[in-house]
Amino acid sequence: MGAKLKTGLIFGVGLLIGAAVTFFCLGRMNQEQHARSYATGVIEQAFLATELRAKRQDELAKRIESNLPSAVLAIHQHSYLQSVPESQSALRSVKHFYEVNGIPVPTEIVGILNDVPSSQ
């Protein structure tokens, strides 16, 4: 009876240690991902500010606008991108961009954006 109790106790302690290590590692990975995402956002903002200060807003707008269809297609085609709530917000934002600016939606994404509810 003592051997079974000792084995169960060792198993339970090992399980708790494993859970704690896993929790720590996953928390660390999440923190690093957030830091990368934040740094990437800062890089993007610096790039945009540079382009705008250099009076290249028209070229910048065309470049950003030309990237929208591929971004919509990527979200639509990859389930891991669809798994976060921000993906629907991103699609609504793209649809809103086309609606507000009166720009025809490119044919390759019109079906995707038609299924997205409009921003209110």
User: Can you give the pTM of this predicted structure?
Assistant: 0.67
Q: pLDDT digits over 24-54, tens only?
A: 777 778 788 878 887 887 888 888 888 988 9
Q: How confident is the model at residue 8 (pLDDT cuts 50, 70, 90)?
A: confident
Give CA–CA dist 95/35, Å, rounded: 29
With a cut of 90, say whether residue 96 has pLDDT above it: yes
Give CA–CA dist 73/82, Å, rounded: 11
Left (φ > 0), alpha (ψ -120 to 50) or beta: where does 71 sit?
Answer: alpha
Long-range contacts, 107-115 (Cβ 8 Å, 24+): 108/69, 108/73, 109/68, 109/69, 109/72, 109/73, 109/76, 112/72, 112/73, 112/76, 113/72
- Report CA Rg, the chain: 24
